[in-house]
Structure 1
Amino acid sequence: MLALQHVHHIAIIGSDYEVSKRFYTKVLGLTVIQEVYRAERQSYKLDLALHGQYVIELFSFPNPPARPSRPEATGLRHLAFAVADVQATVDALQKHGIEAEPIRTDELTGKTFTFIADPDGLPIEFYAS
């Protein structure tokens, strides 16, 4: 068995770097650790943290292909964040003009959750902690 310790990071490619950067930093509130432009790849790499812990690499590439479908395409299904209050999260998102799906209750845990989409349609879940 492998001796995995924890998830190191999640990598996301945005179709419009500035739009994605604004969403992940200004809307979701992740903080920038480091931003690098890699000229040989015509690509930005933005390292983002949540409460000081490195969690997301945001990339830009010229002309990336679109995500095939939402959310049942092969590959990453969605990104989920734990929140103390799902309704308060929905209210805060609305202030940024982002509409969330109706709040649901997980029939297995009894916890509430909802989904939004990032600027490229990647499903993002907010799940009551």
Structure 2
Amino acid sequence: MFSQPHHIAIIGRHYEKTKHFYVDLLGFEVLTEHPRPDKRDIIINVGQGDVVLELFIKPDAPLRPALPNPEHTGLRHLAFKVASVEKCLAYFDQVGIPHQGLRYDDFDGKAMAFFFDPDGLPLEIHE
């Protein structure tokens, strides 16, 4: 029935910070942008390879509960496959992206690390 995800929707509060993070720092390309004054938001669709993110910029969105504890029901994080977690972490340090340290997956033993978007959404890089 399902072949692959169509897109992943993320809510951000700050237009410039969110767009800069996903486009300028993570390398996504802006596909479309749709201001929606009636809903008081802007949708920016960005893509990289087969991944499409639908960024909802909503300045009055409630803040996400602090992580890592307590964890709440729902999507826990979004993970991106990368060739080298160590190289990504070095890049994150250069451009000021907050992240946790290098660790290894308990199940497959591959390198991984968590990092955070401007609104604190947990993201993962995984080899």
Please indicate, yes or no, whether the TM-score normalized by the shorter chain is above 0.5: yes
Matches of 1:114 and 1:91 in 2, distance apart? 12
Matches of 2:59 and 2:119 in 1, distance apart? 14
Residue 11 of structure 1: CA displacement?
A: 0.5
- Give the unaligned 5+ runs of structure 2: none
Q: CA offsets, 1:99-118, max 9 Å, x none?
A: 32110011210100001111
Structure 2 length as normaliser, TM-score?
0.92
Q: CA RMSD in A?
A: 1.2
Structure 1 length as normaliser, TM-score?
0.91
Matches of 1:98 and 1:56 in 2, distance apart? 19
**Pairs within 5 Å for 1:49-60:** 49-51=47-49, 53-60=50-57
Give the match for residue 88 of structure 2.
89
Partner amino acid, structure 2, of 1:37 = P
Percent identical residues: 42
| 2:24 is aligned with 1:26 | yes
2:40 to 19, 39, 42: 42
**Would you say how many aligned residue pairs link Structure 1 and Structure 2?**
125
Matches of 2:3 and 2:66 in 1, distance apart? 31
